[in-house]
Amino acid sequence: FPEMVSNPKLVLVQGTLNVVMKQNVTLSCLSEPGPPPVRYTLFKHNQQVSALNRSDLSPALFTLTISSASDVGEYKCKAEYNNSSGGKYSNSLNFTLLEPISKPVLSSPTSQAKKGQNVTLSCFSENGSLPITYLFFKGTQNISPQKTMQKREAAVIFLFINSLSDFGTYKCKANNSFPNNTKYSNSFNFTLAEERSHSQPLIISLGLILLLLIIGLALAIPFFLIPLYKASE
C-alpha cells in the first residue's frame, strides 16, 4: 500500500524551536488517513535519527536531548508501510541553538571632548545568539531607544556634549533570547579636553614682535655709535 500513505505532519509537542543546551524536545509524526501499520523514521539533515512502528492511528513521538550544536538544524520524518519501498516525507522543523551573550564592551573613538562637540558611543557583544538588543545609559537613566542588531555588529549612538553634566558615567546593556541573560558593559567617561586660551596666540605674537625689535635694535646700535665716535675724534 505505498501509494496510500499520505504526507505525514511533523509537529513540536514539547519544547521550543529556539533551544538551549541540555533541553529536551518532543516531536510528533503522524500520517493520516491511512491504514496501520506504519513505520515512522525521523531524519536530521537526511541522516536517520530514530524509527518507530505504529499499529494504530497514534502518532510516533520522538524525544530528543539537545546536547551539542550538531543536534540543531532541520528535522523531517518519513512515513511508509512496512516492507515497502515507497514512503512520503513530512514538513521540516528547524531548531536554533541559543547561546548566552558575552559582556558587552562600551567604547568611543575619543575619550576627550569639549562642550559643543559631537561624540559617538558603541556597544558590542562578541558572542551570543542573534539578534542582540542593546540599550545605553548615563548613570541610571536610559538615553536612547533600544537597538536590535540582526548582524554581529556594534550598536552606535551619537551624543552632543552640551554641558558639564554630559561628562558623566556611561554604560550599556545587552540581551538576547537566551533566558535570564542580561549583561552590562564596562563604564565609560569622557574627560574635558583642555581648551587653549584665546589670549595665548596674542601673547606669542607680541613676544615674537618684541624679540624682533630687540634683535633689530642690537643690530642698529653699531651704526649709530660709529658716526658719533668718529665725530668726537
Q: What is the pLDDT of residue 2?
A: 45
Sketch the domain layout of the chain as residue ranges.
Answer: 9-97, 105-192
What is the pLDDT tens value at each position of the chain, 233 positions in all? 445 788 999 999 999 999 999 999 999 999 887 677 789 999 999 899 999 998 888 999 999 999 998 999 999 999 998 766 678 999 999 999 999 999 999 999 998 988 889 999 999 999 999 999 999 999 999 999 999 999 999 999 999 998 888 888 999 999 999 989 999 999 999 988 875 545 556 667 787 888 787 887 777 777 666 665 566 66
CATH, domain 105-192, list 2.60.40.10, 3.50.30.60, 1.10.230.10, 3.40.50.300: 2.60.40.10
CATH, domain 9-97, list 3.40.50.300, 1.10.3080.10, 2.60.40.10, 2.60.120.330: 2.60.40.10
pTM (2 d.p.): 0.65
Same fold, 9-97 and 105-192: yes
Cβ within 8 Å of residue 157, ≥6 positions away: 120, 121, 136, 143, 144, 147
Q: What is the pLDDT of residue 1?
A: 42
